C-alpha cells in the first residue's frame, strides 16, 4: 500500500470502528456495574423475593408457579426460587451452577446471548431468587444511531486524507517537473501549516537553484567568450613568432596575451573565493589608513601611466576582517577609477568611521555611468558601452569581485554619479559577526 491517501483513510476508519466497539463494551460494562450497585433494583427484587417466599410457604409450589407466571407476563423474563443449595423449589431442578455465580446477597450477571441474571438471597439465607431477563442494553438496537455517526466520521477522515495527500501529490508533481528541467516549477502553496512551510521551503530552494544554474550558464558563456579572443591572438602570435623577422616583438605579444589569460583566470578564482561562506573569512585587525596608503602606493604606477593623480584623506579607523580580501576589493575599485579617469585629473579616496561603521569613497572625474546601469556594474562581465568598453583592457570582473568581497564582510557597496565622474561608496562594520 503506497498511497498515503488510502493509508490515512483506512487508518481513520479502523480507528473509528475500534472506538465504537470499545464504546459499546465499556457502556455495557458500566451498565452492569450500575445495575449491580443500584439500590432500587435491589429493593424491587427483595419485594419479589418476599412475595414469592410468602406464596411458597403458605400455598405451596403450584401457587408459586402461577405467581411467577403472572409476574413473567407482566414484567418479562423468567423467575426461579431455590433453596440455599440451588435446588428449584417448583421443579426440583438443580440450579446451583447459576446460583453459585452470585457473590453476596445481590448481584447482576451477563449470561449467554443477550440475557442478564439478577440474584438475591433472603436475609436468613434460606432462599435464593434468580431472575433471567433480556438485557435492556443491546448493541444491535443502537446500530441505527451509530451508523450516521460512523458515516459522518468517515467523511471527516476522507476530507482529512484529501487535505493531507492532495498537496503532497502536488508537491511530488512539482518536484518531478523541476527534476526534469522545468526550473520555473513552483508549489505556490497558500497553506499555513507544516505542508505549506514545506512547499515554501521548496520554492525558496528552487528559486536559489534556478538563480545558481542561470548564473553558472551565463558565467560559462562569458568565460568562453572572454577566453576566445586572447587565445586566438595567442595562437596568431605563436604562428607569427616562427616566421616574423622581429621575433622579440612576437614573443612580447605572446607574453602579453599569456599575462592577460593569467589575470583573467586569477580574477575568476578570486570571484569564486569571494563568494565562499562568510564564516571562511579570517578575522584580523585592519588599520584602514595603512591599508589605503598601501593601495595608493601600488596604484601610482598605473595612475602615472594614465597621467592622473590619487589623493588620499581621512581619519584613522580599525576594523576586523581579512586584509588581503579587503585590499583586493578596494584596489579593484581604484584601478577601475584610474582606467576611466581623464588626463590631468585627480582620484579622491576618502575614509573615516563612526561608532560602528567604516566609510570609504572613491571618486573619479570620468564620464560616469548611465543611471540605469549603476547597479549592473557590479555584475560579472558587465561593461557599459561607449566610454567603458573592451578597449580599456578590463574583463568586467574587478567590480564584481569587490562587491562580493565587501558583502562577504557584511558590508555595502554601491555607486553614484557625481557629475562629473563616478563615486563608489563602501560601508564596512568595524566588527565582523560570523553567521
Q: What is the pLDDT of residues 102-137, one digit of tens each?
A: 766 656 655 555 677 777 888 888 888 888 877 655
From 137, 161, 196, give the residue that closes a domain: 137
Whether omega before 18 lies within 30 degrees of 0, making that bond cis, reads: no
pLDDT over 50 at 139, yes or no? yes
Q: What is the mean pLDDT of residues 350-374?
A: 90
Q: Give the pLDDT confidence score for residue 387 in this predicted structure.
A: 43
Same domain (yes/no): 131, 250: no
* Residue 379: pLDDT over 90: no
Domain count, the chain: 3
Please give the share of the chain, as a percent, with pLDDT higher than 70: 73
Residue 263 and residue 281 in one domain: no
Does residue 2 surpass a pLDDT of 70? no
- Residue 2 maps to a domain: no
To the nearest whole number, what is the mean pLDDT of the chain?
Answer: 78
Q: Are both 368 and 404 inside the same structural domain?
A: yes
Instruction: Please tell me the least confidently modeled range out of 51-60, 91-100, 389-398.
Output: 389-398
Could you tell me if 283 and 425 lie in one domain?
yes
Confidence of residue 277 (pLDDT cuts 50, 70, 90): very low
Q: Are 290 and 260 in the same domain?
A: no
In a domain, 9, yes or no: no
Q: 207, 240, 274 — which closes off a domain? A: 274
Q: What angle is formed at CA 371 by the lines to CA 368 and CA 377, rounded to 5 degrees?
A: 70
Residues 270, 128, single domain; the answer is no
Q: Is the pLDDT of residue 344 over 50?
A: yes
Q: Of 1 and 93, which is predicted with more confidence?
A: 93
Average pLDDT of 1-20? 70
Q: Is 181 a member of any domain? A: no
Same domain as 371, residue 318: yes
What the block records as the C-alpha cell of 140 is 444491535
pLDDT at residue 390 greater than cutoff 50: no
Residue of 86, 81, 58 whose CA lies nearest to 69: 81
Which of 78-92, 239-253, 329-343 bottoms out in mean pLDDT, i.e. has the lowest?
239-253
**Which of 228, 245, 274 is the C-terminal boundary of a domain?**
274
- Is the per-residue pLDDT at 393 higher than 60? no
Q: Is 10 within the bounds of a domain? A: no
Instruction: Decide if 91 is inside a domain.
Output: yes
CA distance 208 to 404: 17
In a domain, 65, yes or no: yes
Residues 327 and 423 both lie in one domain:
yes
Cα-flanking dihedrals φ and ψ of residue 385, to 5°? Answer: -65, 170
Range of the domain at 424: 277-429
- Residue 13: pLDDT band (50, 70, 90) is confident
Phi, psi of 102 (to 5 degrees): -85, 135
CATH of the domain at 418: 3.30.565.10
Are residues 398 and 256 part of one domain? no
Amino acid at each position: 500500500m503506497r498511497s498515503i491517501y488510502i493509508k490515512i483513510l483506512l487508518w481513520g476508519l479502523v480507528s473509528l470502528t475500534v472506538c465504537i466497539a470499545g464504546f459499546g463494551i465499556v457502556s455495557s460494562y458500566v451498565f452492569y456495574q450500575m445495575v449491580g450497585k443500584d439500590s432500587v433494583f435491589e429493593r424491587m427484587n427483595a419485594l419479589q423475593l418476599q412475595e414469592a417466599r410468602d406464596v411458597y410457604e403458605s400455598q405451596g409450589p403450584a401457587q408459586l408457579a402461577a405467581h411467577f407466571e403472572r409476574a413473567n407476563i407482566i414484567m418479562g423474563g423468567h423467575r426461579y426460587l431455590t433453596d440455599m443449595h440451588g435446588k428449584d423449589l417448583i421443579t426440583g431442578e438443580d440450579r446451583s451452577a447459576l446460583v453459585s455465580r452470585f457473590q453476596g446477597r445481590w448481584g447482576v450477571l451477563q449470561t449467554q446471548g443477550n440475557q442478564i441474571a439478577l440474584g438475591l438471597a433472603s436475609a436468613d439465607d434460606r432462599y435464593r431468587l434468580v431472575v433471567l431477563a433480556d438485557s435492556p442494553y443491546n448493541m444491535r438496537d443502537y446500530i441505527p444511531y451509530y451508523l450516521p455517526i460512523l458515516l459522518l466520521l468517515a467523511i471527516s477522515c476522507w476530507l482529512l486524507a484529501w487535505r493531507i495527500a492532495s498537496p503532497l501529490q502536488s508537491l511530488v508533481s512539482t518536484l518531478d517537473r523541476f527534476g526534469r528541467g522545468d526550473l520555473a516549477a513552483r508549489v505556490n502553496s497558500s497553506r499555513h501549516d507544516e505542508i505549506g512551510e514545506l512547499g515554501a521551503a521548496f520554492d525558496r530552494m528552487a528559486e536559489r537553484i534556478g538563480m545558481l544554474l542561470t548564473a553558472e550558464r551565463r558565467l560559462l558563456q562569458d568565460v568562453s567568450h572572454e577566453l576566445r579572443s586572447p587565445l586566438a591572438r595567442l595562437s596568431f602570435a605563436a604562428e607569427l613568432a616562427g616566421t616574423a623577422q622581429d621575433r622579440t616583438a612576437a614573443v612580447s605579444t605572446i607574453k602579453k596575451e599569456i599575462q592577460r589569460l593569467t589575470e583573467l583566470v586569477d580574477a575568476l578564482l578570486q570571484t569564486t573565493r569571494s563568494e565562499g561562506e562568510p564564516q571562511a573569512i579570517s578575522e584580523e585587525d585592519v588599520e584602514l589608513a595603512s591599508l589605503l596608503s598601501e593601495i595608493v602606493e601600488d596604484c601610482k604606477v598605473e595612475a602615472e601611466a594614465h597621467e592622473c593623480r590619487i589623493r588620499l584623506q581621512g581619519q584613522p579607523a580599525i576594523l576586523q576582517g581579512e586584509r588581503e580580501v579587503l585590499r583586493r576589493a578596494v584596489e579593484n575599485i581604484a584601478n577601475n577609477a584610474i582606467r576611466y579617469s581623464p588626463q590631468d585629473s585627480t582620484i579622491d579616496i576618502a575614509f573615516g568611521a563612526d561608532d560602528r561603521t567604516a566609510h570609504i569613497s572613491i571618486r573619479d572625474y570620468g564620464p560616469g555611468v548611465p543611471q540605469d546601469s549603476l547597479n549592473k556594474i557590479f555584475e560579472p562581465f558587465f561593461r557599459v558601452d561607449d566610454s567603458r568598453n573592451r578597449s580599456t583592457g578590463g574583463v568586467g570582473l574587478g567590480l564584481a569581485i569587490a562587491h562580493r568581497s565587501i558583502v562577504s564582510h557584511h558590508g555595502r557597496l554601491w555607486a553614484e554619479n557625481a557629475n562629473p565622474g563616478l563615486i563608489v561608496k563602501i560601508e564596512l562594520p568595524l566588527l565582523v559577526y560570523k553567521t
